[in-house]
Amino acid sequence: MQLKDKVAVITGSASGIGKEIAFEFAKEGAKVCIADLALEAAQATADEINKGGGTAMAVAMNVTDETQVDAGIAQVVAQFGGVDVLISNAGIQIISPLVDFKFDDWKRLMAIHVDGAFLTTRAAMRAMIKVGRGGSIIYMGSVHSHEASPLKAPYVTAKHGLIGLAKVVAKEGAKDGIRANVICPGFVRTPLVDKQIPEQAKSLGISEADVIKNVMLKETVDGEFTTVQDVAQTAIFLAAFPSNALTGQSITVSHGWHMQ
């Protein structure tokens, strides 16, 4: 049990990568908070974890809403006694050529990825400092924190930005034992990716099979998707790491698509 009695808040954990992290963290002994826009799905995830012998609570949280974020973190502190790990994971994807990108879509994506990371970080750091036992903040970046792809201007911008935020949190958090790191996955088959396969096929004028083979997995060493399990194991490693020796870093899990 690498995370015994650690309290972990995971945003966007009613689905995909965040959900798998929640299950794996619970198996490692963490008390997990499923913080998501989709409250029903978050509650169902928490119920499933509790039924399986873990400890979980669900919180309705739109990460772009300052009041909801602060209230959600306060609820976790009241129920579980603090916050040891924040995984800022909630995210969406919107694809379009830059010249056609709607400003509202740009702002919506940036708000979820960047404002959401800031608001949840600020609330979690305040709680960590108050309780005084340090903590680990993990951002869900992407290979797109390092590489660019066409059609993804705000996503690539936001994911690069998270690396900057993690570096600042590493510097400001060190004196309180707070570490910050970024996980950068390659393509993972979640609802976020399943939605974009037909969209990319249409935008690029190629088949869905070609999107998978020649766009998404083209640069990997073995033509394979990264899995939710791969990402969850990396999150456990970062959350359990015992000191500030590992802070301000990004770890890429992408079948070699991006090599640092």
Across 230-257, b (16+ Cβ under 10 Å) vs e yields bbbebbbebbbeeeeeebbbbbbbbbeb
Of 142 and 181, CB closest to ligand NAD: 142
- Could you give the residue ranges of the DSSP H alpha helices within 114-190? 116-131, 153-173
CB of 91 to ligand NAD, least distance (A): 2
CB of 78 to ligand NAD, least distance (A): 20
181, 190, 234, 252: which one binds ligand NAD (CB under 6 A): 190
CB of 176 to ligand NAD, least distance (A): 26
Which residue in 88, 124, 108 sits closest to 7, CA to CA?
Answer: 124
Q: CA-to-CA distance for 106 and 115, rounded, in angstroms? A: 13
Contact stretch for ligand NAD (CB under 6 A) within 77-85, 117-125, 189-197, 198-206: 189-197
Of 80 and 155, CB closest to ligand NAD: 155
Contact stretch for ligand NAD (CB under 6 A) within 58-66, 72-80, 96-104, 244-252: 58-66
CB of 227 to ligand NAD, least distance (A): 10
Give the pairing type, strands 85-88 and 31-36: unpaired
Contact stretch for ligand NAD (CB under 6 A) within 25-33, 167-175, 183-191, 204-212: 183-191
Residues in the chain: 260
Which residue in 67, 118, 71, 70 sits closest to 90, CA to CA?
Answer: 118
Number of residues that bind ligand NAD (CB under 6 A): 28
Task: Say if residues 137 and 180 touch (Cβ distance below 8 Å).
Answer: yes
Check if 155 is active-site. yes
Token readout for 241 is: 């790491």
Task: Say if residues 233 and 22 touch (Cβ distance below 8 Å).
Answer: no
Under the binding rule (CB under 6 A), the answer on residue 11 touching ligand NAD is yes
Across 108-145, b (16+ Cβ under 10 Å) vs e yields ebbbbbbbbbbbbbebbbebbbebeebbbbbbbbbbbb
Q: Find the binding residues for ligand NAD in span 12-41 (CB under 6 A).
A: 12, 14-18, 36-38
Token readout for 162 is: 């998270």
State the catalytic residue, choosing from 80, 139, 155, 187: 155
Site string for ligand NAD, 63-102 (x = CB under 6 A): xx------------------------xxxx----------
Question: Which sequence positions are flagged as catalytic?
Answer: 155
Binding-site ranges for ligand NAD (CB under 6 A): 11-12, 14-18, 36-38, 61-64, 89-92, 112, 140, 142, 185, 187-188, 190-193
